[in-house]
Structure 1
Amino acid sequence: MEQAVAAADTAWMLAAFAAVSLMVAGLALFYGGMVSVKNTLNMAMMVFGALAVVGVLWIIVGYSASFGDSLGGAGILGDPLEYFGSSKLLDAPATPGLPPAIFSAFQLLFAALTVALIAGAVADRMKFGSWMTFAGIWALLVYFPVAHWVFAFDSKDGSVHGGWIANKLKAIDFAGGTAVHINAGIAGLALALILGKRKVFPNAPRPHSLPLTMLGAGILFFGWFGFNGGSALAAGNAASVVVLNTIAASCAGMIGWIVVEKFKEGHATSLGAASGLIAALVGITPACGAVSPMGALIVGAACGAVCCLAVSLKYRFGLDDSLDVVGIHLAGGILGTLLIGFLADGSAPNGVAGLFYGGGVDQLWRQTVAVLAVLTYTFVVTFAIAKVMQLFGGIRADDEAEDAGLDLAVHGETAYVLDHLAVPAGKHAPADAVTAAEAITTKAAATVE
């Protein structure tokens, strides 16, 4: 019987891994559709580049630093040498259970996607080489330690010590509200502050392909069920409740965003619907195992509405958060994490009651401390990383590259080739061809309107 259960759990985790792996392409499409036509490929390359760099580091030292025995039992960082090179993960469990290799592969994608999310805050203006360097340093100094704080639990026999947020503070974060979304959101804020505004800000270029963004959002929606459901680490009731809560929040989040958008702007847009979906998914990520389905509706609707309001603050404060990483991932991550303190239902898988379910403020203060700890640590370290990189070589693309577009200037290629702008084989399209392509796209969009 135990072997059958273990096999079912392993099969579920393999399926969840496959679903989450699609989120890399989904994020590239989601972000890629929102930038101008001349920066589409660069945006996708930043996402896939993050996967490449973080994936290599994860195999070498990341898993060990995140899930190794906590150094000195302090709950700050796992022993980076315990699983160095990941060779110890090849062994099958001594008793029926989840193979460590699939758990590591699953968590590798969490690490890579967290770093990739940051790219949206600095779209259109960061050197690609600097981005790849930043991705590696940030993963080592920020993501791996914070993942240890949040995701590494003490072993049942007490032989392995995990992170302080999970085990000492006992804050609830089912799938990454703090370690993933708040982490990426506040890092995006720090990096955008150092990098500065785009030359065209606040008149940012319009999204060049909203269907591409909608497609990306749909792929992310699919993958998120693996992201949240897989975090249950078993094919059972907990994963089922998480999946139900995730889709409930998603539906409410789209409604929350487009209702606010309708009142604010007079239109319910496709970009708003896609953004509301992602905002709700961000908010339910930490809470999906702690709330009831009704609670999930509240979390989703609140995140959709609040994040819709939050994204406009960048214009008030002069922050060029290109693709609303701060407005969606930071705001949604904070809100979803804190709402656990109010809406946690003792009958949900996490088994903790929040303020509205008779639990008092006990869980609320724990959630608050977790949020503040990640906000402070990540902002300070990210700001320092970016500042040092700026002093030694710079991190921003030059004016000529920014004007021409990073697709052509950095990667030597363009996302689209129109027949009347076709270029002979072996040659690159001139910058004015890219500009002309943008003009045609804008004119076509205006005609439709």
Structure 2
Amino acid sequence: MAIALIVLAAGQGTRMNSDLPKVLHRLGGAPLFAHALAAGRGLEPERVIVVAGHGAEAVTKAVAKADPEAQIVLQTEQLGTGHAVAQALPALAGFEGRVLVLYGDTPFIRPETLEALAASSADVTVLGFEATDPGRYGRLIAEGEALERIVEFKDATDQERAITLCNSGVIACDAGLLSELVAGLGNDNAAGEYYLTDIVAAARARGLSAEVATCPEAETLGINTRAELARAEALFQARMRDEALENGVTMVDPGTVWFALDTYLGRDVVLGPHVVFGPGVTVESGAQIEAFCHLEGCHISRGATVGPFARLRPGAELAEEVHIGNFVEVKNAILGEGVKVGHLTYLGDAEVGEGTNIGAGTITCNYDGVFKHRTTIGANAFIGSDTMLVAPVTVGAGAMTGSGSTITEDVPPGAVALGRAKQVTKPGLATKLFEMLRARKAALKKGS
């Protein structure tokens, strides 16, 4: 069956006490809404619609970056979840299939849960959970799996508030029926809003079926405050660590490793303590990341070693058996098989051929204050310590640079390049200079 997603992301999130729209606060290095999109993408939906409202311009930009195929619609007035879905429905014109309504501030729902929801044969299916503390959740009035209606906490009686089966807000419904039911919604309730949940009663009134699908309460956790965001981050990291261990990753101290939503680690990857993954990192099987490394937007191939104290930035591509040592930073650079970059080096906007050795203190001087320029180093070259490679520049295969050189011109393959001033030695001059300076210091003390 064809699937479409509607992700509601229009709320302001006043309890976050932030100028940033709630769904743009980050969890696991990604905006909150991206978690819902990632779970929904597991169903391979034909259409994805995100409803934006508060901070719509910023939300639109973030959605375009996270999921370029998603369509944005605006809810200029926040008149409830039913009203939000109504804004999205025109974007589903011509779609025939099942629609899932998700929430941009509910990041933990698993793809497997959504698959079960989408597979339900009921006309309307609501995702529910047994709450430890039902609090102000809407209550599901059901008999077995059959759902009679949903009651919002504000409108519930004391008897209804005693029910622990609660509404997550996530709903599945055929597109045509959803349009009909949403069109009939009213706002005669305590909040004066159009509740999407009222479509259940409307469906039952028409003799249609409504069911409850359930999931663990932890999957329905919504984020409304900074404290909840912090707790969610801890839960997210714990889940990612457990998954990594189950998938064959070794972590010396799991509690100190931090993951992003899209971190991918192959089998037999070894992680030292205090490794931090930003977005967009892939580490292939058998690679080793030593302690205190920060990685973002990079790809590390089999058998490579990184760190300790290394930083890989977006565009860093490490081939097999590459070694990146301590206090090395790599950005937008491709390193061929077996390249060694031992320590205290910056490689930016560069391409380094296989088997090349980069000496300590080497810098690719890639920025002239306006434009970035590229450095190309051939295979099996030797870059001496403290070499400044002033881009754009090319060092040929098998070439060598002398330590302390500033290289401003291309170096042919197999050549040695020296770009440093000739050393001048003045015997005895240091002694005379020190005597003069000490005398001056004594005179100043005496004068004071």
TM-score normalised according to structure 1 size: 0.24
- Choose 1 or 2 for highest CA Rg: 2
TM-score normalised according to structure 2 size: 0.24
Which structure features the higher share of strand residues?
2
Which structure features the higher share of helix residues?
1
Higher relative contact order (CA 8 A, sep 6+): 1
